[in-house]
Structure 1
Amino acid sequence: MSMELLTSLRQEINKVIIGQDYMVDRILIGLFTGGHILLEGVPGLAKSLTASTIAGVSGVGFKRIQFTPDLLPADILGTEIFNQKTGEFIIKKGPVFANLILADEINRAPAKVQSALLEAMQEQQITIGDTTYKLEKPFLVLATQNPLEQQGTYQLPEAQQDRFMMKLKVEYPNRQEERRILEQFGLGEEREVSFQQVLSREKITEIRKVVSRIHVDEKIKNYVLDIVLKTRENRQYIECGASPRATINLVKAAQGRAFLEERDYVTPDDIKAVVYDVLRHRIVLSYEAEADDMTPEKIIANLLELIRVP
């Protein structure tokens, strides 16, 4: 992917999304590495708009699933329907059969519905009845959730959270960005914002192959291992450390960031840039940590200080 194509991709996204560069970059990392993304933030921060915009600019099939307490797994995956004329069952495929899935407010549905996405996210396939269907590539799940202290939300199971490459903490825009949002969308008649398609499914597949070949030095691999293994040693504050999936995703996310920075090799700064997003949802805190007002971010920062940078 040339620098011009990457620049035009950002320009088209910025026609619709003002600010939120951190969120946009991390979603692009997910798109270019095949890693699913969990977005956490209060309503109104353009999480859903960013997902639909990136899907449009990328030229991939997009479906939005609104998670609610009464949602059923079949509403996501699809179901078998009996055809009285033929006397046979036919398959009605659900919205998960798309390239980019927006699982909106995923923590407003109970665990059995959330877990309906597990097979799709890990195996990239869906089983309906006795038949298994492969999902079309590229396949990516972007899930949004409100902070858990909000009313009517459910905790995501650890197995579900571990399927996400990164969990992003989406913050409010700054004053200048919010002024631009006001000028563009809040004054007078609402203006139609159009963008052009820059990528395609075939191009994304090519980019994923390029990203997977970005060089990771032995010292970087050992640095990643040092970080992940440290999460399993701190028994004071960490009840359960990061899984081997965290090790894999930390390297993949760093490769994606190196690609966005137009490098063909990973640096320690790439690891540091994505380590919070990759690990924050994979560290289960102990009661002592909560009593001492420790957060996953504080613990990760402390671990990084203990580990020598290559």
Structure 2
Amino acid sequence: MTSTDRLTAAGAARAGGPGALAGRTVSRIGYGAIQLRRLDRADAIALLRRAVELGVDHVDTAHFYGNGFVNEVLAAALRPEDGVLIATKVGAEPAPGGTVPLRLAQRPEQLRAGVEENLRSLGLQQLPLVNLRRADHGPGLRPDGDQIVDLDDQLAVMADLRDEGKIGAIGLSSVPLDQLRHALPLGIACVQNAYSLVAREDEDMVRLCLAEDIAWVPYFPLGGAYAGLPKVTDEPAVALAAQTLGVTPAQVGLAWLLRHTPNTLLIPGTADPEHLRANTDAGAVTFDEATLAALDAVPSRSGDIEIG
């Protein structure tokens, strides 16, 4: 059986169908866990159990989400038999009480400390996938002082951590195209950058990831929930497609991403069980040629905002 045959056979039970991430077959629609910090522990655990029921089998997290709370909830909610791949990230650390509740942690020793914190709060012996969150590209904090760190120094410690067995695969986040090209010899499993129907400045990177068999995992898949970032759901073409298909504008935006390239995996976040179900149902949305052409013609425009 070929890898394509295996993916096809696995697709029926997976949210959005099957995709590949860090050497595993996973559902193309996963879950971004950052919104769990808005819930109490019991509700957060219940939401994660519901995600598993809906076919979600990869979750994006970080120790700096809720200062460890989100990871600890994941550890309590997920069971080995669920087969959920946990992807986490390093490159920032909690900053409780700050205007932004995190600060950059880019130095090699901080990356290593971040891996150790994730291992502890997730209760794992190995992190299946760790994304190195840079701060050079897209919306977000920008480094200064000792947080301006050469990419090679960061890649070296990530490779060491992989060799030590503390992480299984390495991803990149918030990086420009030249940094991805530079890191390719290390073996990059995925890239997480801000990208959506209305913010497609990374189209060349999407195509490079496809050519290199790298998972493309966009954050802000519906544009920004912050002032200054365009929203997919505000687009007239999206509203018209949603009305025609009898789905929500958000589902149209997610479905467009899945249709755009086969290596795209989604990690929409929510604290609402109904929104969770709507997000996983987006995998069943299909477009006719005219609707797809109208969506493809939506102009891309970038915003600028400092966020974590």
TM-score, normalised via structure 2 length: 0.29
Structure with more contact order per residue of length (Cα contacts < 8 Å, sep ≥ 6) = 1
Mark the structure with the bigger radius of gyration.
1
